[in-house]
């Protein structure tokens, strides 16, 4: 396989840029091809069948480029579609659930873990089963927290409205005694600072936040290293595609990616 082939990353929209950003930090020499299926967002409220159908289209598009791995940045897709995706491509397909679950087990001291995500991710029970696979005695409390996605996309992170929503969603989990919280959605890393502040003031207890974006970037580096597939020193040339307005992708996605995009291309799927 070509060392300098790209890494394909896809998500239902712009949220997966939090994952792409971590991969770019962890593997600065790698070229990423990112696809955001913004025309069909959100995936989190859709049925597993529909999400699998969309995910297959996304992977078929990415697979037209020369790739050495595909990262499923979307938690909703990772929770239901990996087996179907692995059937249609021969390169490794990595999802965010297992790396996040392993990081949660490594972080917890009490064994009481909270998981938040989009309704489809929570309904699938995949985080629970992945955590229990490595720590069968863990106690897991999950909650769908769908309002966080529009809040993040509106740029309302850090506002009083966001603080109240976070408090309302998380107080019941904190009351169960969680010491670790899995951020099971692409958008949630943006709330890390506000979550830490909320826990510090409202519930003076240390709660470790597990960001699956960081965990999957580390696993991807390990995989490429073990297969001797790291890119030769080359300036990476990332490419970004969106299925809806490229202008909106560039404007809203900037907060998630952390800098301006050189170019965003439109693709019809
Ligand atoms: N990317 C989705 C996830 O991580 C969040 C947005 C959506 O529901 O499409 O679950």
pLDDT digits (tens, 9 = 90+) for 70-113: 999 999 999 999 999 999 999 999 999 999 999 999 999 999 99
Residue 129 is predicted with a pLDDT of 98
pLDDT of 9 strictly over 90: yes
Distance of CA 89 to the CA centre of its chain: 21
The backbone torsions φ and ψ at residue 141, rounded to the nearest 5 degrees and listed phi first, read: -120, 120
Nearest C-alpha to atom 9 of ligand 1 is from which residue?
42
30-36 average pLDDT score:
97
Q: How far is the CA of 215 from the centre of ligand 1 (A)?
A: 17
In the predicted model, is pLDDT for residue 262 greater than 90?
no
- Using most ligand atoms within 8 A of CB, pick from 41, 48, 152, 253 the residue to mutate for ligand 1: 41
Beta bridge partners of 36: 11, 242
User: pLDDT tens, 161-210?
Assistant: 999 999 999 999 999 999 999 999 999 999 999 999 999 887 767 899 99
**pLDDT of res. 202:** 75
Find, among 46, 76, 73, 90, the residue nearest to 212 by Cα. 73
User: From the alpha carbon of 184, which atom of ligand 1 is closest?
Assistant: 4
Is the distance from CB of 48 to CB of 25 less than 8 angstroms?
Answer: no
First to last CA, the chain: 27
The burial class, CB within 10 Å (0-12 / 13-18 / 19+), for 121 is buried
Average pLDDT over the chain, rounded to whole? 95
CB neighbours of 70 closer than 8 A, spacing ≥ 6? 7, 8, 9, 10, 59, 62, 63, 85, 89, 91, 92, 93, 94
Domains delineated in the chain: 6-95+214-266 (3.40.50.1860), 98-211 (3.40.50.1860)
DSSP 40-60: T---TTS-HHHHHHHHHHHHH
Residue with tokens 């907060």: 255
Residue ID of nearest Cα to ligand 1 atom 2: 74
pLDDT in tens, 110-168: 999 999 999 999 999 999 999 999 999 999 999 999 999 999 999 999 999 999 999 99
The pLDDT, as a whole number, for residue 36 is 98
**How far is Cα 175 from Cα 139, in angstroms, rounded to an integer?**
13
């Amino acid at each position: 396989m070509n060392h300098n082939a790209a890494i394909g990353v896809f998500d239902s929209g712009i949220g997966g840029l939090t994952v792409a950003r971590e991969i770019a930090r962890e593997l600065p020499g790698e070229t990423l091809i990112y696809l955001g299926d913004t025309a069909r967002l959100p995936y989190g409220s859709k049925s597993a069948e529909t999400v699998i159908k969309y995910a297959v289209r996304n992977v078929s598009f990415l697979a037209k480029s020369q790739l050495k791995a595909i990262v499923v940045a979307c938690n909703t897709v990772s929770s239901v579609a990996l087996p179907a995706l692995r059937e249609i491509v021969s390169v490794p397909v990595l999802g965010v659930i297992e790396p996040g679950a392993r990081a949660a087990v490594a972080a917890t001291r009490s064994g009481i873990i909270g998981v938040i995500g989009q309704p489809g991710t929570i309904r699938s029970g995949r985080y629970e089963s992945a955590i229990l696979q490595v720590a069968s005695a863990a106690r897991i409390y999950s909650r769908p927290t769908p309002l966080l996605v529009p809040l993040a996309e509106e740029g309302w992170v850090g506002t009083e409205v966001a603080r109240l929503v976070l408090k309302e969603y998380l107080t019941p989990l904190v009351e169960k005694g969680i010491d670790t919280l899995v951020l099971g959605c692409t958008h949630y890393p943006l709330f890390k600072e506000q979550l830490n502040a909320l826990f510090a003031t409202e519930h003076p207890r240390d709660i470790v936040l597990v960001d699956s974006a960081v965990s999957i970037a580390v696993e991807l580096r390990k995989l490429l290293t073990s297969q001797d597939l790291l890119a030769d020193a080359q300036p990476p040339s990332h490419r970004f595609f969106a299925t809806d307005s490229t202008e909106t992708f560039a404007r809203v996605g900037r907060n998630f990616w952390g800098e301006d995009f050189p170019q965003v291309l439109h693709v019809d799927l």
